[in-house]
Amino acid sequence: MTSLWGGRFSEKQDDFFFAFNESFSFDRRLAVVDIVGSMAYARGLERAGLFTSIELQEVLAGLEELQKRVETDPSFIEQGLRDHYEDVHSFVEFELTKRVGVLGKKLHTGRSRNDQVATDLRLYLRDAIDATLASIRGLQRSLVTKASQFPKLTMPGYTHLQKAQPILFAHYLLAYFEMLQRDAARLIDTRKRVNILPLGSGALSGNSVGVDRKYLAEILGFDGVTANSLDATSDRDFVVEFMGAASLCMVHLSRMAEDLIIYCTDEFQFVRMGDAVSTGSSLMPQKKNPDALELIRGKTGRVIGQQVALLTTLKGLPMCYNKDLQEDKEALFDSLDTVQSCLRVMSLVIDTMQVNEGRVQQEAHKGYMNATDLADYFVAKGVPFREAHHLVGEIVVHAIKKGVSLGELSLKDYLSFSPLVEVDVYQALDMEAVLKKKSSLGGTDPQKVGAAVESARRGLGMN
């Protein structure tokens, strides 16, 4: 067992407790950022007069060699597990000491694992947010590409999973584009609070060796430094914020997954999943199951649960650092891995998905979805909307009994309900006219949707 402490203790630590207590098995993924933070801190010590320039160069060379080994040799970390390092910090410090001798022991002067791990998490999460944003943009590109392929395809729009009003398929896809826009905006905003440096706060009360924290922030690319050392070492708000943004992103992915699961059933037949993202049944040879979508839907609860778990851990912690905070990493790492993999898989789903245009178009003409437009027709004739709404309801019942659409009712049928109806009623009920009428900003008018697609393409650098 290799630890950074022990002088206070006279008896050997219990092996089972060591396994219970250690974090290297999961915080080893922080090794590179721990080294990067240590390089900056070494420079800060040299600036404070605790390293000579020669000593600094020797320490930096040792850290650079260690970083290269970590990045290129997976077995090196595995050996660290067998060597029973307590955490990633002890791994880096002891491995550095093997390379540069006593200077490796000098590096931790004025620094605590408390401000060290808080810095590592921010460095790691900063890069992870950038990677997640790239994955979101990738899915958005898939949605926009698919929307561009079907600029005029009309589909049923649903409320309560009942046919409501016709919309463009491209308009439907862009709804999820907008959800992802908000997800990206939340991550960008979260990143601002991630990018504040806690290093130099010590264990809880500050740094006592004169390290210039603003200098550390500058060389590590942080926007500023934390204002209170107690808060700096115990703050995990930024982790919770990311997990909240990840949870909401997963909710959006789950909603999309639910739609597509429904749309690929025999009952709907709107889309067909690509073979690359589907599975079969071990018993029923005819089955093609949308497992990719079901897994995304299922993993959403996992990410939400991780956020709730961390919030529950944080809610009763006294000031300042407590070992409970070690629980933040597995929750964060799992949420990161899950949301990034789900974004990537959903991109594959959209890219390989086939759209059954004929079926979609056919269903768009069913369900009396132009009933609201018939009510608008009466409103234009001077009938108050509430009266028009009631009148159209009666006309729909009549059409249902006759087994015809609103456009198939005769003029005589309409006149039996109202003398205001003229032959122009059929133009008002035409699908193309119905769509064009939704010309308000954000509506499903083909011209507006086409402009929205082009705007999205430009925003993603696709033009």
116-146: pLDDT as tens digits: 999 999 999 999 999 999 999 999 999 999 9
Domain co-membership, 240 together with 262: yes
Which CATH number fits the domain that encloses residue 231? 1.20.200.10
Do 337 and 231 fall within a single domain?
yes
Confidence of residue 14 (pLDDT cuts 50, 70, 90): confident
Same domain (yes/no): 267, 188: yes
Query: Is 140:132 a contact under the CB 8 Å cutoff?
Result: no
On whether residue 162 sits in a domain, the answer given is no
**Co-location of 70 and 185 in the same domain:** no
Q: Which of 346, 363, 380 is the last residue of a domain?
A: 363
- What average pLDDT does range 195-222 have in this prediction? 97
Q: Are 95 and 35 in contact (CB under 8 A)?
A: no
**Whether 25 is catalytic:** no
Which CATH number covers residue 415? 1.10.40.30
User: How far is residue 200 from each of residues 116, 178, 209, measured CA to CA in Å?
Assistant: 9, 40, 9
According to the model, what pLDDT value does residue 232 have?
98
> Which DSSP state fits 318?
P
Over residues 153-165, mean pLDDT:
97
Average pLDDT over residues 29-36: 98
Hey, what's the torsion of the CAs at 247, 248, 251, 252, to 10 degrees?
-140
Q: Are 246 and 308 in contact (CB under 8 A)?
A: no
425 found inside a domain: yes
Domain end marker among 363, 391, 411: 363
- Per-residue pLDDT tens digits for 40-68: 999 999 999 999 999 999 999 999 999 99
Please calculate the CA angle 192-197-198 and round it to the nearest 5 degrees: 130
Predicted confidence at residue 346, as pLDDT, reads: 98
pLDDT surpassing 90 at residue 294: yes
Residue 89 lies in a domain: yes
Catalytic pick from 281, 410, 416, 455?
A: 281
**Same domain for 63 and 124:** no
Residue 305 placed within a domain: yes
d(CA 203, CA 403): 77
Alpha carbon 391 to chain centroid, angstroms = 46
Say whether both 388 and 404 belong to one domain: yes
- Cβ–Cβ under 8 Å, residues 305 and 312: no
Residue 7, pLDDT score = 60
* Separation of alpha carbons 297 and 303, rounded Å: 11
Same domain, 293 and 382: no
Residue that is last in its domain, among 78, 109, 140: 109
pLDDT band at 4 (very low <50, low <70, confident <90, very high): low
Taking 90 as the threshold, does the pLDDT of residue 15 lie above it?
A: no
Would you say residue 197 lies in a domain? Answer: yes
Residue 183 · residue 111 · CB < 8 Å: no
Q: Give dist(CA 395, CA 106) in Å, integer.
A: 86
* Within-domain flag for 1: no
Residue 3 counted as domain residue = no
In contact, 42 and 54? CB cutoff 8 Å: no
- Bridge partners (DSSP) of residue 450 are none
What is the C-alpha to C-alpha distance for residues 155 and 365, in angstroms, rounded to an integer?
A: 8
Domain span at residue 207 reads: 114-152+177-363
| 198 in the same domain as 299 | yes
Tokens of 33: 């950022």
Give the separation between CA 236 and CA 225, rounded to whole angstroms: 15
* 447/409 same-domain check: yes
Helix (H, G, I), strand (E, B) or coil at 313: helix
- Residue position matching structure tokens 């022991």: 105
Residues 297 and 395 in one domain: no
What pLDDT sits at residue 2?
A: 60
Which is the catalytic residue, given 53, 160, 208, 282?
160
DSSP class of 158: E
The reply to whether 296 and 325 lie within a common domain is: yes
Q: What rounded mean pLDDT belongs to the chain? A: 96
Task: Report pLDDT digits (tens) over 399-428.
Answer: 999 999 999 999 999 999 999 999 999 999
List pLDDT tens digits, range 304-335.
999 999 999 999 999 999 999 999 999 999 99
Token representation of residue 277? 């993202």
- Give CA–CA dist 61/88, Å, rounded: 19
Total domain count, the chain = 3
> How many C-beta neighbours within 10 Å does residue 351 have?
17
How wide is the angle at C-alpha 160 spanned by C-alphas 141 and 262, nearest 5°?
Answer: 50
Q: Which residue has the tokens 């009266």?
A: 387
Residues 451 and 391 in one domain: yes
Q: What is the distance, to the nearest Å, from the Cα of residue 446 to the centroid of all Cα atoms in its chain?
A: 30
At 10, the pLDDT band (50, 70, 90 cuts) reads low
Q: What distance in Å separates the CA atoms of residue 270 and residue 356, rounded to the nearest whole number?
A: 5
pLDDT digits (tens, 9 = 90+) for 365-407: 999 999 999 999 999 999 999 999 999 999 999 999 999 999 9
Cα atoms in the 13 Å half-sphere on the side-chain side of 261? 16
Is 281 catalytic? The answer is yes
Token duo for residue 204: 């809880």
